[in-house]
């Protein structure tokens, strides 16, 4: 027969209390570990954000180069006998080839070499900001820089003269191919391309980001 003395009961209660406390601590530790693992698995990494950056940049670049090649093949070079216009909305929106020796929307004509150098500097600055400046940690900023990079490289490609053969007119040798046309009555907006669209969209997003950061 088992006799329960006060000492035995006291020891049993003490043991039960310690076991309960230990189990509770282990449960809390497991819960914290699970939360940490879950949180770390949802946090973006440099590799995933760089992949997104490259995907946006390369997609934008390919769209720009393909559209330029296709439109110039279909519509011909500016001021040549075979050049044609293609109107989507008559006298408002269409496609017409033009070669721009300047920057965005025709600014700074004749400065292709300088703008090509600016493109290289801009590309290096973007990469430094993205990696060293940890811009990759912000999804919106990563997307913005991806758009700008695609536009920068697209126009840089043209300024290097890689889009034509050696027999092209010297005025076009290091110019940027433009083909999107907007007009309204007597006003004609300077022709532009998809790279320009990427640059404008990226710059606008960057402006939004700067305002949001100040709030």
The set of catalytic residues is 178, 196
Q: Do residues 172 and 80 lie in contact, with contact meaning Cβ atoms separated by under 8 Å?
A: no
Place of tokens 């670049």: 61
DSSP state of 97: E
Query: Half-sphere exposure (CA, 13 Å, Cβ side) for 29?
Result: 6
Q: Do residues 94 and 88 lie in contact, with contact meaning Cβ atoms separated by under 8 Å?
A: yes
Q: Do residues 157 and 170 lie in contact, with contact meaning Cβ atoms separated by under 8 Å?
A: no
Q: Record the tokens describing residue 128, joined without a space.
A: 């430094």
> What are phi and psi for residue 99, nearest 5 degrees?
-120, 120
């Amino acid at each position: 027969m088992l006799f329960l003395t006060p000492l035995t009961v006291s020891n049993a209660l003490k043991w039960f209390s310690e076991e309960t406390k230990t189990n509770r601590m282990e449960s809390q530790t497991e819960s914290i570990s699970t939360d940490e693992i879950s949180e770390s698995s949802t946090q973006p990494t440099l590799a995933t954000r760089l992949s997104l950056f490259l995907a946006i940049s390369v997609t934008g670049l390919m769209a720009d180069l393909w559209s330029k090649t296709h439109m110039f093949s279909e519509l011909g070079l500016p001021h040549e006998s075979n050049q044609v216009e293609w109107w989507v909305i008559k006298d408002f929106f269409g496609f017409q080839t033009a070669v721009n020796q300047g920057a965005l929307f025709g600014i700074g004509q004749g400065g292709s070499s300088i703008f090509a150098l600016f493109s290289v500097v801009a590309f290096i600055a973007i990469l430094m900001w993205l990696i060293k400046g940890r811009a990759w940690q912000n999804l919106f900023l990563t997307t913005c820089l991806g758009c700008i990079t695609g536009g920068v490289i697209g126009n840089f490609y043209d300024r290097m003269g890689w889009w034509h053969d050696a027999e092209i007119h010297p005025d076009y040798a290091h110019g940027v191919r433009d083909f999107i046309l907007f007009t309204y009555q007597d006003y004609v907006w300077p022709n532009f391309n998809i790279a320009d669209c990427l640059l404008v969209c990226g710059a606008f997003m960057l402006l939004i980001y700067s305002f949001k950061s100040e709030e």
